Amino acid sequence: MENKVSKEIFNPVEENIKKLTELFPSVVKDGQVDFEALKQELGQFEELGKEKYELTWPGKTLAKQLALTDIVGKTLKYVPEESKNPDTTENLYIEGDNLEVLKLLRNSYYGRIDVIYIDPPYNTGNDPLYRDNYSIDKKEYDMSEGNIDEYGNRFIINDKNNGHFHSNWLNIMYPILKIARELLSENGAIFISIDDNEYHNLKLICNEIFGEQNFINSIAVKTKIAGVSGSHLGKSLQNNIEYILAYAKNIENFYIAKQPQKKQELIEYINTMKLLNKSWKYTSVLKYIDDGEFVKKIKDGNGDEIYVFSHKEYVISSIKRIAEEEFNGDIKEAYYNYIDKIFRTTNAQSSIRTRVIEECSDIESDLISIEYIPKKGKNCGEKIRLYFKDKSRNLIAWLKDVIEIDNGIIYKLDNKGNLWDDINFNNLTKEGDIKFPNGKKPVQLIKDIISMVANKNSIVLDFFSGSASTAHAVMALNAEDGGSRKFIMVQIPELIKPDDKEKTDYVKYLEEEKIKPLITEIGKERIRRAGEKIKEEFKDKEWIDKLDIGFKVFRVAKTNIRWNDDVIKSGPITLEESTLSSKDALDFNPGFTDIDVVYEIMLRHRDFPLTSKIEKLTHIGNRTYMFADSVVVCLEETITREIVDKIASLEPKPIKIIFRDSAFDDDISLKLNILHRLDTQIKLFNQGKDQTYRVEFI
């Protein structure tokens, strides 16, 4: 039986059954789940009561079903003319309904996203909520009611008087969050901005989707807004904060790579501590220390080796004495000149310190150090050295580990915890060199979020991307630390209507800037402008020439491929259809390009991102391509022996080769002969060794 390229992009039910089979093989029989057997595997041998704690609402079952259904008849169409640096960039900007986009991405990016940040509608009563499933026969009614915009996107203004006010919002959020979890990597996390209106409901559905055990934090963010929540007649307090709900994909694999911190110039910080009668303990200076003499090896809790060193020659002084002796009493000069050698001691308990106390009591020196490689945490996999002072083996904590130097100024850093009151929400309208009057989030806020989770090569997704603040934050972080993070922005092309004075003025501003009044156009232009500005701002960084400020643009569109069960319409053909060859008209829809077809096939492959390299194999034919150095897509209308031989000789060897069924003219014998020759030639070029590969047809 020949293999066909799947019409489906991703079958979530089938994927879940596979996972269930791995966990409990006995409960899946002939592809069907025995739910009674599953209950017994989970220790439920009798039902004690039907009541259970859960959030439910009208439409929840349909919302669950919506998350589980695949997307058919849609694809992502590449738009090269609107892309920036398309040949080198690894960033994406995707226009379309976010649920459709997530479904289209769920195979290529399954388990690959490290950070998701979204700023969804807060459901204040005036938000346009875009729905994700509707019947075509309702379209005319919806347009007359104002529920469909000029671009065919269906939405409602979710008025608080609506009897399904909360349900409408939940029905939109539930399926997209369900799919978002599938996209997260095992050590990834999602961060969702929200306010009081739906905080409670959002937390409940996140507990259900991501698991209550994977809750990280609820972060309170002080904003510039000080409006009254509720009545102006003394019924409530002024509302000065919003929230960010944070959930890990798997809390066991998650750790905070960098604690969000606020900073203050070091000497100002010290003086503030004194004014508050608080103790400032970073006052000792290790002016000199020898390399240490190896004493012995001990084991940590996991049985890994820790190397212990004894130090006999060292000089410790106080910062005050150094200021008096070397800098005429100038304490600032002392701190700034000895910043790498200033420390305090701490008796805080840790498993490593406990092991040192237990195993090193026989060492006479008052100063010892250890070397080891942590298996988790921010220094995971890196050899580090820790110092311990006095017989009580108090840990030496370095001031250099809690400061930041920026343009010669030393700042003391303090962990913010889950109250972020240092983010500037003023003048956001112009941030990114393009005005956007409502809904912008500060770049610094998103940078703090990304820094918590991401390594420097992570993928960051925002599927309510708005003015593309998240893309701006990713580029800025990369410019600051030399990282190569990638972004994926998703935004529906929402039209900005001049239906009040503020919006009328804004549309005029966009006209002056030569920008269409669509949020997608604003987002793309912001990325273009912000990227150039960031590159200029950080031009002295050694890595700035490698900074990725480009993006590939894709749009949700109708499928390019006439799948095996598609019916070709009868009747008069269009001018566009008349230009197609008979085989192209049989296989593809009008308006297709070969590259469109290659991308549509790419979406059906696990672990091949949309930024994968596509190479046209001109030495084979005019319509043969290879993506990610792995999959050959041969769209030639006729397959010859020469084409087969050249494909067989390719290096690197492809893992999959895709042909058109129509290229064989319904000649089964020809197809079998070609496949046999392909296999023979591959073995020949592989010096007789077997090579695993797969052939499929469209």
Write down the H helix ranges in 571-640: 575-578, 582-587, 594-602
For residue 381, the cross-strand partners are none
What pLDDT score does 375 carry?
Answer: 80
Question: Which residue, among 229, 132, 223, 237, has the nearest Cα to 174 in the 3D structure?
Answer: 132
| Residue environment code for 546-561, b if the CB has 16+ CB neighbours within 10 A, otherwise e | ebbbbbbbbbbbebbb
Question: Which residue, among 128, 186, 208, 126, has the nearest Cα to 161 in the 3D structure?
Answer: 126
- Which residues have CB under 8 Å from 26's CB, separation 6+? 34, 37, 41
User: Is the pLDDT assigned to residue 230 strictly greater than 60?
Assistant: no
Least confident of 43-52, 69-78, 254-263: 43-52
Predicted confidence band of residue 49 (pLDDT cuts 50, 70, 90): low
Rounded distance between C-alpha atoms, residue 525 and residue 209, angstroms: 35
Predicted confidence band of residue 138 (pLDDT cuts 50, 70, 90): very low
For the chain, state the CA radius of gyration: 30
pLDDT, tens only, 141-171: 344 444 555 555 555 556 665 557 789 999 9
Question: Which residue, among 434, 486, 481, has the nearest Cα to 460 in the 3D structure?
Answer: 486
What pLDDT score does 147 carry?
Answer: 54
Question: Which residue, among 392, 312, 376, 545, has the nearest Cα to 384 in the 3D structure?
Answer: 376
Higher pLDDT, 684 or 577: 684
> Which pTM value belongs to this model?
0.84
Q: For the residues 475-481, what does the mean pLDDT come to?
A: 96
Domains of the chain: 12-52 (no CATH), 70-129+173-259+439-555 (3.40.50.150), 263-415 (no CATH), 564-697 (no CATH)
User: Is the pLDDT assigned to residue 571 strictly greater than 50?
Assistant: no
pLDDT, tens only, 399-453: 999 999 988 999 999 999 999 999 998 888 778 889 887 778 999 999 999 999 8
Predicted confidence band of residue 132 (pLDDT cuts 50, 70, 90): very low
User: Is the pLDDT assigned to residue 232 strictly greater than 60?
Assistant: no
Q: For the residues 603-609, what does the mean pLDDT come to?
A: 93
In the chain, % helix, strand, coil (3-state, to 5) comes to 35, 25, 45
Rounded distance between C-alpha atoms, residue 204 and residue 173, angstroms: 12
Average confidence score pLDDT of the chain = 89
Q: For the residues 317-323, what does the mean pLDDT come to?
A: 97
581: number of Cβ within 10 Å: 11
User: Is the pLDDT assigned to residue 208 strictly greater than 80?
Assistant: yes
Q: For the residues 23-47, what does the mean pLDDT come to?
A: 76
- Parallel, antiparallel, or unpaired: how do β-strands 552-558 and 74-78 relate? antiparallel
Q: For the residues 665-674, what does the mean pLDDT come to?
A: 93
User: Is the pLDDT assigned to residue 459 strictly greater than 80?
Assistant: yes
What pLDDT score does 35 carry?
Answer: 87
Q: Are the beta carbons of 166 and 57 closer than 8 angstroms?
A: yes
pLDDT, tens only, 485-504: 999 999 999 999 998 898 99
Higher pLDDT, 372 or 226: 372
User: Is the pLDDT assigned to residue 136 strictly greater than 60?
Assistant: no
What pLDDT score does 149 carry?
Answer: 56
Residue indicated by tokens 């005050």: 320
Rounded distance between C-alpha atoms, residue 91 and residue 489, angstroms: 8
Rounded distance between C-alpha atoms, residue 178 and residue 161, angstroms: 28
What pLDDT score does 575 carry?
Answer: 54
